[in-house]
């Protein structure tokens, strides 16, 4: 697929990088002239995806996380979050609202929020090999008022 | 994350300022629980108007704070969620579980 612009960022799964990742994704999306609401939705979805890597992919260690943001033709923003961690046994179950293996610190709403804030969510995972989450959303073109 | 507190006549008012995510949630919950234990309020009101960011970690935190309040037969209220945190609350369906209140000045907007 043709892309108009992209960034790739790799970072360790320290929880302090959750804020960094969503800020970077927000700063990249800003060139598409999103509304504040759209920007908030994008940052929230990225925060959920990266938190999943920190909490679930690498529960007892620090591992590598890749964030790739692309602008596709037609005003489509695509965000990929990948880890090489534990993986998910049953993706359909993991996507169920309120389901969590994270105990009472987690709400089990991460995938639900990603789904409701973005147009499309794809999750590919293999136990022991890692997980790839792809989020995308089309941002309508706006006329600039001068 | 900063937690500003005020206590008066059985009501513990806490204003959360900053970004509430997985990284900041544990420490924030600890502060809130310590304040609840100190005052044992009838009602704990969490003012979310100064939250610049929140994700589902915040939802889990509110549910735990509510459970803590219920131990002592108290109530937890969420007050004036910021635009972004309001959207997360709505998407998570927490509105059915925790009371959310809007003060007059916010209703006018």
Are B19 and A106 an interchain contact pair (Cβ–Cβ within 8 Å)?
no
Q: Kindly report whether the global pTM for this prediction surpasses the value 0.90.
A: yes
CB of B83 within 8 Å of any CB in chain A? yes
In a domain, A146, yes or no: no
> Please, is A99 exposed, middle or buried when counting C-beta atoms within 10 Å of its C-beta (0-12, 13-18, 19+)?
middle
In a domain, A145, yes or no: no
Report how far residue B48's alpha carbon sits from residue B71's, in angstroms, rounded to the nearest whole number.
Answer: 23
Q: Which of A123, A142, A143 is nearest to A133 (CA)?
A: A123
pLDDT tens-place string over residues A85-117: 999 999 999 998 888 888 888 888 999 999 999
- Domain carrying residue A115: 3-138
Contact residues on chain A for B57, CB-CB shorter than 8 A? 51, 105-107
Are A109 and B91 an interchain contact pair (Cβ–Cβ within 8 Å)?
yes
Contact residues on chain A for B97, CB-CB shorter than 8 A? none
pLDDT tens-place string over residues A7-65: 999 999 999 999 999 999 999 999 999 999 999 999 999 999 999 999 999 999 999 99
List the catalytic residues of A. 48, 52, 106
A6: its two tokens: 């992209």
Who wins on pLDDT, A145 or A121? A121
Which chain A residues in 107-126 lie under 8 Å from chain B, judged by CB atoms? Answer: 107, 109-110, 112-113, 116-117
All structural domains of chain B: 2-107 (3.30.750.24)
CATH number at A14 reads 3.30.565.10
pLDDT tens-place string over residues B54-93: 999 999 999 999 999 999 899 999 999 999 999 999 999 9
Q: Give yes or no for a contact between A114 and A79, defined as CB atoms under 8 angstroms apart.
A: no
Instruction: Determine the pLDDT at residue B106.
Output: 54
Instruction: Determine the pLDDT at residue B108.
Output: 46
B38: its two tokens: 């100190």
Query: If you average pLDDT over residues B27-45, what whole number do you get?
Result: 97
Q: How confident is the model at residue A144 (pLDDT cuts 50, 70, 90)?
A: low
């Amino acid at each position: 697929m043709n892309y108009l612009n992209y960034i790739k960022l790799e970072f360790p799964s320290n929880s302090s990088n959750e804020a960094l990742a969503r800020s970077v994704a927000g700063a990249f999306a800003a060139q598409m002239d999103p509304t504040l609401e759209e920007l908030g939705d994008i940052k929230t979805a990225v925060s959920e995806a990266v938190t999943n890597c920190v909490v679930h992919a690498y529960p007892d260690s620090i591992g590598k996380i890749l964030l790739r943001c692309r602008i596709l033709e037609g005003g489509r923003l695509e965000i990929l979050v990948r880890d090489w961690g534990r993986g998910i046994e049953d993706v359909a179950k993991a996507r169920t609202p309120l389901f969590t293996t994270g105990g009472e610190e987690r709400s089990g709403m991460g995938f639900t929020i990603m789904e409701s804030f973005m147009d499309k969510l794809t999750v590919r995972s293999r136990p022991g090999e890692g997980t790839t989450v792809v989020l995308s959303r089309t941002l309508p073109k706006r006329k600039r008022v001068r | 994350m900063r937690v500003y507190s005020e206590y008066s006549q059985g009501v513990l008012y806490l204003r959360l300022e900053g970004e509430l995510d997985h990284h900041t949630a544990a420490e924030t919950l600890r502060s809130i629980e310590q304040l609840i234990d100190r005052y044992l309020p009838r009602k704990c009101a969490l003012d979310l108007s100064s939250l610049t960011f929140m994700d589902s970690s915040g939802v889990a935190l509110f549910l735990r704070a509510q459970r803590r309040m219920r131990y002592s037969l108290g109530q937890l209220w969420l007050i004036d969620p910021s635009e972004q945190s309001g959207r997360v609350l709505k998407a998570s369906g927490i509105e059915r579980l925790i009371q959310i209140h809007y003060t007059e000045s916010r209703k006018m907007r």
